[in-house]
């Protein structure tokens, strides 16, 4: 193995301009994200099919790996399509090795395969990265999620005690966090697979096209712990449901643990085979309810403490503001944390403690969304009125220019203003494929950066939809 590594090291040539990669990352990610996490990562070397980059701490490595690595890899692949993974070194632990010009090849090989290296591959494992930051220790509990938390803890201690375990609740209520926590606690002694239903579908289709179904079956049926997130996205996919049903049964027969999350209880799942819903109902079904004020307030305080540690205690959010957002942001925990992040970013950018009136302005859209639920139908109505077309024209298969842009705009707004999945949005637009939805979102997102007038129109439409501001359009 060392010989192979030595051979690969001997042909190292710098092919990628890291400054170009950083320039693209700056454009792709929000400024605060880039400055805080991505600016200081450096390219160490480029090998035949992977690159080696350095970061200052394990924390930063884990944070980037869990949140941004897929996107960074895609940027890198634009300049070298042969790159299929990214590896990390921890600068603090390995400075001596990297900077020592007298280090021989064997030293470097030893370094490359040690515990300080993590990677992402373009394979099944690409979709199985468990977020180390989502664990039981930092999951804040209250009456609304206590049962789900205790059931998840029990499963992590006694496999197959509740099998399957089915967690359901609204968007951003902590389901994914609990799945991560279970996977994190079991991965040392078990073969764990954590995957979303959409990723499962992607791998299923990919395996069918490449005649690798045997490999697909072996990979998923040989796991000890299978965690599937957002199972409702399997709706209507008969062939995939058939494969999932047999995988499900195969795992139960070998006493593997299955944990599933969804946005609704099993009997409410639309376009899912009855036999699958029956299997789900046969285990422990737990509802995660909306967080009450006390829980929301606890979460806010906990997140502020985390941010203070990261930013060297420079975060100062008044108790008045904490109580305000805990009271007003009721849609989901994710929205709550997102609201806090906005306020913290504002505080850091302007170097001031934001007042309550300033917070109201910062969170204007979220506060409105908490009160008024935006629907795809209402978005379509507003967009059609703006572009002076009928809804039948928008939903038709016609691809005339005067229809394409309004349709893309409505799809884009549906993606950013609702919590609907890509397939759900596609169905609301006359059963269009989710790839069409992705293309529309990317097109409008790009045009907003290039076309000032279009960007203004999009903002006007958002105001109309969110705040019912007739005069804005």
Quote the tokens at residue 28.
């792709």
Q: Are residues 307 and 380 in the same domain?
A: no
pLDDT at site 12: 41
Quote the tokens at residue 210.
């490449």
pLDDT over 90 for what percent of the chain?
26
Q: Are residues 221 and 305 in the same domain?
A: no
Q: What are the tens digits of pLDDT across the range 324-371?
A: 999 888 878 888 988 998 898 888 888 889 998 888 888 887 776 544
Confidence band (pLDDT; 50, 70, 90) for 72? confident
Q: Are residues 304 and 215 in the same domain?
A: no
- Average pLDDT for residues 274-278, to the nearest whole number? 94
Cα 315 to Cα 298: distance, rounded to the nearest angstrom: 17
Q: Which of 371, 400, 419 is the last residue of a domain?
A: 371
Q: Are residues 108 and 212 in the same domain?
A: no
Q: Are residues 97 and 186 in the same domain?
A: no
The domain that contains 365 carries what CATH number?
1.10.8.60
The residue with greater pLDDT, 83 or 373, is 83
* Contact (CB, 8 A) for 353 and 317: yes
| pTM check: above 0.75 | no
Q: What are the tens digits of pLDDT across the range 16-66?
A: 888 888 888 888 887 777 887 888 888 888 887 788 888 888 777 777 876
Q: What are the tens digits of pLDDT across the range 79-96?
A: 887 887 888 887 654 444
Q: Could you tell me the residue range of the domain that residue 94 belongs to?
A: 2-122
Three-state DSSP class for 53?
A: strand
- Average pLDDT for residues 253-281, to the nearest whole number? 92
pLDDT at site 105: 43
**410: burial class by Cβ within 10 Å (0-12, 13-18, 19+)?**
buried
C-alpha distances in Å from residue 204, one per residue of 85, 147, 246: 22, 33, 13
Q: What are the tens digits of pLDDT across the range 108-143?
A: 443 443 333 333 343 444 445 677 778 899 899 999
Q: What's the total number of domains in the chain? A: 4
The domain that contains 431 carries what CATH number?
1.10.1750.10
Confidence band (pLDDT; 50, 70, 90) for 309? confident
428 within some domain = yes
């Amino acid at each position: 193995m060392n010989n192979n590594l030595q051979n690969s090291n001997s042909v190292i040539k710098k092919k990628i301009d890291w400054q170009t990669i950083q320039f693209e990352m700056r454009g792709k990610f929000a400024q605060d994200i880039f400055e805080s996490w991505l600016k200081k990562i450096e390219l160490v070397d480029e090998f035949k099919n992977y690159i080696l980059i350095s970061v200052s701490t394990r924390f930063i490595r884990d944070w980037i790996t869990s949140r941004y690595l897929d996107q960074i890899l895609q940027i890198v692949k634009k300049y070298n399509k042969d790159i299929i993974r990214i590896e990390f070194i921890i600068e603090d632990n390995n400075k001596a090795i990297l900077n020592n010009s007298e280090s021989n090849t064997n030293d470097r090989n030893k370094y490359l395969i040690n515990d300080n290296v993590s990677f992402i591959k373009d394979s099944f494992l690409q979709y199985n990265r468990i977020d180390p930051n989502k664990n039981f220790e930092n999951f804040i509990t209250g009456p609304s999620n206590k049962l789900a938390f205790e059931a998840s803890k029990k499963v992590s201690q006694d496999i197959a005690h509740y099998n399957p375990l089915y967690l359901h609740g609204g968007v951003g209520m902590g389901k994914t966090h609990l799945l991560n926590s279970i996977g994190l606690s079991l991965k040392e002694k078990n073969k764990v697979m954590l995957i979303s239903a959409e990723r499962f579908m992607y791998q299923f289709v990919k395996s069918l096209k490449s005649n690798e179904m045997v490999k697909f079956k072996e990979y998923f049926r040989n796991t000890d712990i299978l965690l599937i997130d957002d199972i409702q996205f399997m709706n209507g996919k008969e062939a995939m449901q058939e494969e999932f049903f047999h995988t499900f049964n195969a795992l139960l027969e070998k006493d593997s643990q299955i944990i599933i999350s969804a946005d609704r209880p099993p009997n409410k799942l639309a376009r899912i085979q009855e036999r699958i819903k029956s299997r789900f109902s046969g285990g422990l079904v737990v509802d995660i309810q909306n967080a009450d004020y006390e829980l929301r307030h606890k979460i806010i305080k906990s997140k502020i403490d985390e941010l203070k540690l990261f930013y060297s205690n420079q975060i100062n959010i008044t108790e008045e503001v904490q109580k305000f957002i805990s009271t007003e942001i009721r849609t989901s925990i994710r929205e709550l944390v997102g609201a806090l992040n906005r306020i913290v970013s504002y505080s850091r950018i302007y170097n001031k403690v934001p007042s309550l009136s300033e917070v109201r302005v910062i969170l204007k859209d979220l506060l409105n969304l908490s009160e008024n639920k935006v629907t795809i139908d209402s978005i379509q109505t507003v967009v059609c009125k703006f572009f002076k077309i009928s809804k039948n024209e928008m939903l038709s298969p016609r691809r005339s220019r005067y229809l394409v842009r309004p349709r893309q705009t409505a799809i884009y707004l549906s993606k950013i203003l609702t919590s609907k999945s890509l397939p759900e949005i596609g169905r609301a637009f006359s059963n269009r494929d989710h790839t069409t939805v992705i293309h529309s979102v990317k097109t409008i997102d790009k045009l907003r950066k290039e076309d000032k007038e279009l960007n203004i129109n999009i903002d006007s439409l958002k105001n109309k939809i969110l705040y019912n501001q007739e005069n804005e359009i």
